[in-house]
Structure 1
Amino acid sequence: MRRCLPVVGVLITLLWVPSIAQDARGALDAAIAAMGASNLHAVEYTAVKGNQYALGQAPGPGKPWPRFTVTQYSMRINYDALVMREQTTRIDDEKPPRGGGAGGYNPESQQGGIRPIPFGPNVITTLRNGQTPDGALQIWLTPHGFLKGAAANAATLTATPRDRNGSLSLSFKAFEKYTVTGTLTRDNLVERVRTTVAHPLYGDSVIETQFSGYQDVGGVKFPSRMIQRQGGFPLLDVALTAQPGAAAAAALTVPAPGARGRGQGEGPAPAPAQGTARLTTRELAPGFWAIAGIQSFIIDFRDFVVVVEAPASPARMEEVLAEARLLAPGKPIRYVVNSHQHADHSGGLRAAVAAGLTILTHEVNVPFYNTMLRNPATIEPDALARNPRAPILEGVADKKVITDGTRVVEVHHVRGNLHSEGLLMVYLTKERMLIQADLFSPRQAEAKPLPWSTITANFYDNIRRLKLDVAQMVHVHGGTDPFDKLVAAANLPHE
């Protein structure tokens, strides 16, 4: 009799696996019917109020993302063509502004680079191709998009039993690395959708969209409120109106490769294309180089090298480190100086950790990085995932002097700045050059003059407090400016 038990176990398992698949498919079919998803080919969601938040741009480590007020929002989806277009009109009305999120400088609108964002409402437009992982995930993070994605990936579909509230979860796998999970209510409406995505600093990062206030529009159920979160904090919170079959949504076509829309985005900038060519460098002074792009800087000392800033991504930072070794062959890299914790300025730190380098940052950032730089990165394994190490972090309180006896470089805390509470600037004493990040936004000569910014004024006040003899500012986001430009910007009339 005992010899039959394994056979019985195998038979039970074989019967159980199809049962799971049938339960999952049955739950999906019930949700498609309840939501009217099979009849929906295109939709436009609109909103005239809400909030948008800037991922990775908090005023301090572990704090919520900065808030912007949404005055108009549109999300168009063509489910047949697998295309999404989002447009957000926002105003920077937080007084005073805390954190980042202004985005890069846009010569056309003359916006970006500094908060408060100048010259009226700020418009961000993003096109997404659902044939790509990023585009597909964004479509699947909508209620009907999730159901259509689950149906398209039915071979990997699984379900959990309903809980005491009558809710259940459906999950499917796609692109060999993503698991997308939707929670259905007892009425078979999509309550939330979540997945895990790759982030250059945070590693594996959960993004979740929650839906509520469903209403019937022409036999299709649509949510009247949507809240999206990432990193534990909201990204978007809007009250929605749905127009199924909207002509503008139905007319969407697959965007051309590389099209990302217009306007200022948030979070880490995309890393430059990887290749075999060396990075473009410019020598600003003997032994002091700027690397083009979202700039890193290389400072050559007698028997070591210092790299300032680890932006964008681990892959980009690997190239920066390789360039430093070419410019100063045989010299070890003693420090990687991190200006602040915003993702576009720290997205390459994981590569620095993988290389065993010491990261110099403000002391308030040390606990934050000790957590972030130990996170797994399984979605897109990077240098640190391939070569796990504990981060080596050195915190700066107010000032750190780096010298070889001849060259002197001072790292100073920018006290009381609302952009980031743990922000550092780097002063080359002999050259009278000051490396700064996000505290002053350079403009073309013909551009409209910027309004006064408390962030820029505080930067100037810190330079005066420290009695730094600055001749030239060197901007992490590109370019240089004489110190006189900062003096003029900091002393503009203001309320």
Structure 2
Amino acid sequence: MKSRLVHVLATLLSGALTLGALQAQASSDDKAIVTAAAEALGGLDRVRSVKNITLSGYGQYAYMFGGGNISGSPEAPQKYQAANDLKRVYDLEHGRFQQLERRNFLFPFAAIFGHAYAQSNLVLDGDIGYETGREGQFVRSRKWIESPLHIDGVHMRRMWMLNNPVALVRAALDPANQLSAPRKEGDLTVLDLTLKQGDKLSFAIDNRSKLPTWVRWKNPHSNLGQVTLTTHLSGYAPYGGLKMPLGYVTRIDWRNVDYFKMYVDDYVVDTQIADLAAPEALRSASDADPVVTSEATQVAPGVWRLTPYGNTVFEFADHLAIYELGGSHAAAKAAIDKARTLVPGKPLTEYIPSHHHFDHTAGFRVGIAEGLTVVSRYGNEGIFREMAERRAPDYPDALEKNRKPFKFRGFDDHLRMSDSKATVDLYWARANTHMADAVFAYVPASKVFVEGDMATAAKDYQFWGDNYMDTVEHYKLDVETLSTVHMGIMKPAEVIEMVKGGVQRARERCAAELAKGNYFPGCPIVSNRY
């Protein structure tokens, strides 16, 4: 018995020593790989001694991650947002990072801000994110920023900072961060890195050049549950004793969309930079999401408009239906909860999106999680199914926590939803250059027209100004009231006057741009009415 016990203990000790040796070997291997990468970037001492790097260049974002195109088809041409006057400041000495750029849509957009080259100034100081607000003052950024245009927040800014290979390798060399054992993927060596703050990412080193070739991480996404982003680094060139890439392409794992492309004009190393420390007043400010509440206004019998996003609810004999779930997950949940209080005992069972664009479907996954049946044109079914079936295991949202099947009721030009209490007609918006498969609703009994982005995308410009009246006349509708997503409850005369002014302002913008030699997207304005 004693000899057997000794044998067992010896075996366990041997196994522990072997495991320890393997772990030590893995640790030695990963450090050697990262050290070789530092040498390839300019030398271990040089990489460790760098205080700051400033990148200058320009870039383009895929508008709404590919979810804002003319249709939901994977073959629809991609719309882009320019990012000019672009700078990235990597303050490695203090662990800070700044994203500076001026954004402008490269397609016709109804609001002036989309064509204003407005500056975006996003900063990370340790665990504190802050930015320049609308009034020019600094404001504390939320920890996770939910937006159909750009995912942002502390995690994203930290990942963008580590897209720079020098910042990345320095982080990998930091003993406070944890490296995985290396693994081979073709001609690359891949390592996982867990930062001391808890952020996780992976990166690949080219086996020949020893240079970083890609960086990969995950982030929550309102419409897609979560996304995996991979930034590919290319065109290494020497700057300030370091090698850094001239090209960055960040691709997401949905339709292989190139979400962000950054082109480098210059790097400067260890120069005087601005103090990026977060203002003291912001350090104690909240970074929590604001609480969203919804209020209802009756538009007509059995029809209500909800704020803040502009949903419209229809009452039928035994159920309710809601038009639009946009804005955010929080706004959608607030709207659904409010809708369920309007007629006690009647369940909310149907959801009618105006169109597929990610701002208008930011609450889509909440609707699916609540068991709602989606009612839309067949042209939207594919993208809606993709959105409903994506998983979010690392950042579970409402749908990941409460998986429900995707239920779809489709039509082409017209669908009548009718019972003993109400009739609501759904129509295709036809010939709208902003959204090919848009759907609007019409209530014959009260002559209420419900729309999103047909006439009321914004007050500033009207690039598809004829669409509303063309559609009304085509379907021979008698409209007395409009319940709009973006502009409240309106009368037809108000809408027509607004559209007329928007067409005129768009023509003036076209003329002003042409006078400067700029051939502006959407110009000349095509309108047979205004």
Query: Which range, TM-score by smaller chain?
Result: 0.7 to 0.9
Contact residue 85 and residue 127 of structure 1 kept, 8 A:
yes
- 1:242 maps to 267
- 2:500 maps to 488
Segments of 5+ residues of structure 1 without an aligned counterpart are 260-269
Q: 1:130 to 1:458 in 2, by over 3 A?
A: farther
Q: Distance in 2 between matches of 1:136 and 1:153?
A: 18
Contact residue 458 and residue 486 of structure 2 kept, 8 A:
no
Contact residue 61 and residue 83 of structure 2 kept, 8 A:
yes
| Misfit runs of 4+, over 6 Å | 1-7
Structural RMSD (CA) = 3.3
Q: Distance in 1 between matches of 2:420 and 2:454?
A: 30
- 1:139 maps to 161
Question: Equivalent of 1:126, from 122, 137, 143?
Answer: 122
Q: Secondary structure at the match of 1:18?
A: helix
- 1:395 maps to 410
Contact residue 363 and residue 397 of structure 1 kept, 8 A:
yes
Q: In structure 1, give the amino acid aligned to 2:200.
A: T
Q: 1:193 to 1:462 in 2, by over 3 A?
A: same
Q: State the shift of 1:80 in Å.
A: 3.7
- 2:333 maps to 318
Q: 1:356 to 1:93 in 2, by over 3 A?
A: closer
Which has the higher Rg, Structure 1 or Structure 2?
2
Q: State the shift of 1:146 in Å.
A: 2.4
- 2:479 maps to 470
Contact residue 169 and residue 181 of structure 1 kept, 8 A:
yes
Q: In structure 1, give the amino acid aligned to 2:209.
A: D
Alignment pair present for 1:39 and 2:49: yes
Alignment pair present for 1:346 and 2:393: no
Q: In structure 2, give the amino acid aligned to 1:111.
A: F
Contact residue 85 and residue 128 of structure 1 kept, 8 A:
yes
Q: Secondary structure at the match of 2:466?
A: helix
Q: In structure 2, give the amino acid aligned to 1:85.
A: Q
Q: State the shift of 1:202 in Å.
A: 0.9
Alignment pair present for 1:23 and 2:19: no
Question: Equivalent of 2:217, from 179, 182, 195?
Answer: 195
Q: Distance in 2 between matches of 1:192 and 1:136?
A: 16
- 2:389 maps to 374
Q: Distance in 2 between matches of 1:11 and 1:251?
A: 49
Q: Distance in 2 between matches of 1:486 and 1:121?
A: 25
Q: 1:188 to 1:64 in 2, by over 3 A?
A: farther
Alignment pair present for 1:291 and 2:306: yes
Q: State the shift of 1:76 in Å.
A: 2.3
- 2:257 maps to 233
Q: Secondary structure at the match of 2:68?
A: coil
Q: Distance in 1 between matches of 2:198 and 2:401?
A: 17
Moved more, 387-396 or 124-133: 124-133
- 1:251 maps to 275
Q: In structure 2, give the amino acid aligned to 1:456.
A: G
Q: Deviations over 1:159-212 (max 9, x none)?
A: 4345553x3112113588753111122323222111121112212211121221
Alignment pair present for 1:14 and 2:20: yes
Q: Distance in 1 between matches of 2:312 and 2:197?
A: 37
Equivalences for residues 56-95 of structure 1 within 5 A: 56-61=67-72, 62=74, 63=76, 65-94=78-107
Alignment pair present for 1:458 and 2:446: no
Alignment pair present for 1:303 and 2:318: yes
Q: TM-score, normalised by structure 2?
A: 0.76
Contact residue 178 and residue 197 of structure 1 kept, 8 A:
no
- 2:448 maps to 433
Equivalences for residues 217-232 of structure 1 within 5 A: 217-230=239-252, 231=254, 232=256
Q: Distance in 1 between matches of 2:446 and 2:124?
A: 46
Q: 1:14 to 1:196 in 2, by over 3 A?
A: same
Q: Distance in 1 between matches of 2:419 and 2:175?
A: 60
Segments of 5+ residues of structure 2 without an aligned counterpart are 128-153, 508-524
- 1:264 maps to none
Q: Distance in 2 between matches of 1:465 and 1:486?
A: 21
Q: Secondary structure at the match of 1:311?
A: coil
Q: State the shift of 1:332 in Å.
A: 1.3
Q: Distance in 2 between matches of 1:30 and 1:460?
A: 66
Contact residue 153 and residue 172 of structure 1 kept, 8 A:
no
Q: Secondary structure at the match of 2:32?
A: helix
Q: State the shift of 1:246 in Å.
A: 4.2
Q: Secondary structure at the match of 1:85?
A: strand
Q: 1:478 to 1:458 in 2, by over 3 A?
A: closer
Alignment pair present for 1:273 and 2:285: no
Q: Distance in 2 between matches of 1:151 and 1:45?
A: 22
Q: Secondary structure at the match of 1:86?
A: strand
Q: TM-score, normalised by structure 1?
A: 0.81
Q: Distance in 2 between matches of 1:75 and 1:456?
A: 39
Q: 1:352 to 1:153 in 2, by over 3 A?
A: farther
Q: Distance in 1 between matches of 2:78 and 2:49?
A: 37
Q: Deviations over 1:109-128 (max 9, x none)?
A: x424xxxx4xx545444344
Alignment pair present for 1:411 and 2:436: no
Q: 1:86 to 1:427 in 2, by over 3 A?
A: farther
- 2:180 maps to 158
Q: State the shift of 1:152 in Å.
A: 4.6
Question: Equivalent of 2:233, from 188, 211, 217?
Answer: 211
Q: 1:470 to 1:342 in 2, by over 3 A?
A: same
Q: Secondary structure at the match of 1:224?
A: strand
Q: Secondary structure at the match of 2:335?
A: helix
Q: 1:41 to 1:355 in 2, by over 3 A?
A: same
Q: 1:381 to 1:485 in 2, by over 3 A?
A: same
Q: In structure 2, give the amino acid aligned to 1:34.
A: A
Q: How many residues align?
A: 457
- 1:263 maps to none
Q: In structure 1, give the amino acid aligned to 2:38.
A: I
Q: Distance in 2 between matches of 1:211 and 1:224?
A: 8
Q: 1:412 to 1:79 in 2, by over 3 A?
A: farther
Q: Deviations over 1:58-104 (max 9, x none)?
A: 2222346412444432222323444333233344444xx5xxxx59x
Q: Deviations over 1:474-495 (max 9, x none)?
A: 3323434423235525865636
Q: Deviations over 1:305-333 (max 9, x none)?
A: 11111223444323222111112211011
Contact residue 160 and residue 169 of structure 1 kept, 8 A:
yes
Q: 1:457 to 1:346 in 2, by over 3 A?
A: same
Q: Secondary structure at the match of 2:172?
A: helix
Contact residue 176 and residue 196 of structure 2 kept, 8 A:
no
